[in-house]
Chain A
Amino acid sequence: MIALKDISKSFNGRPVLQNVNATFNKGKCSFVIGASGGGKSVLMKCMVGLLSQDSGVIDFDGRDFLNLDYYKKKELRQEIGMLFQGGALFDSLSVEDNVAFPLRMFTDFSNSEILDRVNFCLKRVKLENVNKLFPSNISGGMKKRVGIARSIAMNPKYLFCDEPNSGLDPLTSRVIDALIMEITEEYGITTIVNSHDIKSVFDMGDHIVFIYQGKSLWEGTKDDLRNSGNKELELFIKASEF
């Protein structure tokens, strides 16, 4: 479980996040939604430790991320998987080496054990016979799938997805959504997805947090989404569906 308590962050005196509170449960797929520039990406960067919040607590199952020492932070980070908007695959490494990277870096597995795990992860995201290809030789959708395979290689407890459907056609978007959903349920991961894609939210959002101008305005399930009673959220959904 990840709990956010009064997270605030500002840049050059301009507040981007103001007292954001939310709870993301284990084995559930939670969505953070909101308009562009609303603070979703900054919130995710704070959660994964790329930015430090000015105040508030980010609690990973009882561990306050900001106050952990260097080595504890490193340990916690190895429990985190992240799917980036552009995939963020290492250009100089093949698909196989990309997925194998965290295993080579943090485990003492033999080469054959690593290869087995890589093939398992690639098969899990429905990619086969692409091991030797480089990121520049594969499509956007495949890059996302390789990104997912790399994220799950270390059996993460927490999975963060930053706009996983951006730049993808509707069909591939649904494939990626289904994969994220399956993996979340299969491994009991705490998954947090940043998205604009309302279809994805309704398809797989177990829990939704709506961020508006840096504040968490609404939190609930997809069933409550249409009758939230929140003007800004209703407007956002209407505009997205239109």
Chain B
Amino acid sequence: MKFLEQFGRYILFLRACFRKPDKWRMFWRAFFTEVYKMGNDSFLIVSIISMFIGAVAVIQFGSQLQGSLVPMTILGRIVRDANILEFSPTITALVMAGKIGSNIASEIGTMKVSEQIDALEIMGVNAASYVALPKIFAALFAVPALVTYSMFLANVGGAISCYFSEMVSVDTYVQGLRMDFNSFFITHSLTKAVTSAFLIATISSYNGYQTEGGALEVGSASTKAVVQSCIAIIFFDYILTQIMLY
């Protein structure tokens, strides 16, 4: 029952968010600030994680293939597809949930408990739309961009791993990377990225917006936002994979 009540409130919150902004100029200004903040703040962590995911994937898949009759060129293909289909969109989304999700929830939560949201409402501003909509659109732009960057970097990480591990030559790995490329996998991956971005931004904004009390509740809202976003990302990852690839 409580889940249904929360879900209903979430839908009402979305309805309030997706109203026409009071002033487009202020919306765009907030949007670009948010895109910069989300992209810039997450750039380093996404870079590090992506490189290591690719590197580890090469070692793990390579160790499975060694000694088998399968040609080692297949390693590049497996790592590429795994990175594009799963590792980059899902792990980047989970990292972003922790990074920007908690940020959004605590920022809006603090505004709520310090009456800044009330001040907006009293002025006649649609507070839900003003605080959350630029963040939602910024996430829809920044997360897919970071996922695309992550796909590229994960494959580079794989090449670096090949160079150091001597499991397979870099040339063989690159040959595998270029083998039987299916561009639909990119569509699938970006669909997941957009879905995850929407879930992270809306769930975190909603949790921040519902905060009542003080600093303790802001922390709790931030934790809830991350946990709920992660669960939603994994759940929709499964649903989208089932729908698009099966």
Contact = CB atoms under 8 A, between A and B. Distances in A.
Contact of B125 (A49, A76, A84, A105): A105
Contacts of B118: 50, 84, 88
B27 to A, nearest CB: 11
Given A104-B23, A106-B22, A82 B119 contact: yes
B121 A50 contact: yes
Contact of B26 (A74, A82, A105): A105
A48 B23 contact: no
A84 B114 CA distance: 10
B171 interface: no
- The prevalent SS among residues of A at the interface is mixed
B243 interface: no
A84 B115 CA distance: 8
B130 to A, nearest CB: 8
A90 B116 contact: yes
Given A91-B110, A104-B26, A75 B124 contact: yes
Given A104-B23, A106-B22, A88 B123 contact: no
B106 to A, nearest CB: 12
B21 to A, nearest CB: 10
A77 B118 CA distance: 12
B26 A49 contact: no
A78 B38 CA distance: 33
Given A105-B23, A105-B26, A78 B121 contact: no
A77 B119 CA distance: 11
B24 to A, nearest CB: 11
Nearest to A78: B124
B97 to A, nearest CB: 23
Contact of A86 (B110, B114, B123, B124): B114
A106 B124 contact: yes
B245 interface: no
Interface in B155-194: none
B122 interface: yes
Interface residues of B, number: 16
Contact of A105 (B111, B115, B121, B123): B123
A140 B91 CA distance: 45
A75 B118 CA distance: 16
Interface string B12-54: 0000000000110110000000000000000000000000000
Interface string B214-233: 00000000000000000000
Nearest to A98: B119
A80 interface: yes
A86 B111 CA distance: 12
A98 to B, nearest CB: 10
B122 A50 contact: yes
A6 to B, nearest CB: 24
A102 interface: yes
B124 A77 contact: yes
> In this complex, which of B23, B111, B114 has the most chain A Cβ atoms within 10 angstroms of its Cβ?
B114
Interface string B57-69: 0000000000000
A90 B118 CA distance: 11
Contacts of A104: 23, 25-26
A49 B119 contact: no
A49 B123 CA distance: 11
A74 B130 CA distance: 14
Interface in A138-162: 160
Nearest to A45: B118
Nearest to B29: A104
A77 B115 contact: no
Nearest to B115: A88
B116 A91 contact: yes
Contacts of A91: 110-111, 114, 116
Contacts of A90: 111, 116, 119
Given A86-B115, A91-B110, A91-B116, A49 B22 contact: no
16 contacts: A73-B124, A74-B124, A78-B123, A80-B123, A82-B119, A84-B118, A85-B115, A86-B114, A88-B114, A88-B115, A90-B116, A104-B26, A105-B23, A105-B26, A106-B23, A160-B122
Given A77-B122, A88-B114, A106-B123, 19 more contacts: A48-B122, A50-B118, A50-B122, A74-B124, A77-B121, A77-B123, A78-B123, A80-B122, A82-B122, A84-B115, A88-B116, A88-B119, A90-B119, A101-B123, A104-B25, A105-B22, A105-B23, A105-B26, A105-B123
